[in-house]
Amino acid sequence: MALNGFLEFFQKGKTFRPRKRFTAGTIKYSLHKQAQASLQSGINLRTVVRLPEGENMNDWLAVHVVDFFNRINLIYGTISEYCNETTCPTMSGGSRYEYLWADGEMYKKPTALPAQKYIELLMDWTEAQINNEAVFPVSTDVPFPKTFGTLCRKILTRLFRVFVHVYIHHFDRIVSIGAEAHVNACYKHFFYFVQEFDLIPSKELEPLQEMTSRICKDKN
């Protein structure tokens, strides 16, 4: 499923929050366009996620974190009106997995929250990281912080939990609006990327393990 089709489909409906964009003329903008072109060419997703020769890993990571943030926002936006304190009183992925929120500020200890509140806080927190130019520098004159890789792992792990919740609790809605192929394509791209660079602990991936083995069958 080409990226253009994904964006066209989801931008017709409700979005959870505005998309973050890259500044034209920057390295990250060029990498973003390069990644988009590869996706639209229909080549194997396992190949698409590999670091282009001569490119900086942190730049490649930053581009994908922002892109995945944008796309997962769009996906959640399509089901957000069906995700509330009554339908989803906890942030879970089935009966075996429940996620607690902690951010070291408002929530200093891991706290159980309704899924909608958890995801709202997750997106606010992620957006704050992306908008912080000391953390996600927009200029080549500003170096990436030494903790950048660790932060991106945390962001991607938390964004994965949105996939878990959507697939397990709201997939009927995704199917009813004809978005299944689009969501699956986005998930495959996300999964191959985090797998390529070992960005999410295997234990975190367990809730969607069965589905992942079914839809992520692309050969190397």
Has 83 been labeled as part of a binding site?
yes
CB 201 within 8 A of CB 161: no
User: For residue 36, with 0-12 CB atoms within 10 Å meaning exposed, 13-18 middle and 19 or more buried, which class applies?
Assistant: middle
- Cα–Cα distance for residue pair 147/8, rounded to 1 Å: 35
Nearest to 183, CA basis, from 52, 75, 26, 54 = 75
User: How far is residue 73's CA from residue 159's CA, in Å, rounded to a whole number?
Assistant: 9
The verdict on whether residue 88 carries a ligand-binding annotation is: yes
Task: Please state the residue numbers annotated as binding site for Zn(2+).
Answer: 83, 88, 165, 170
Question: Which residue ranges make up the annotated binding site?
Answer: 83, 88, 165, 170
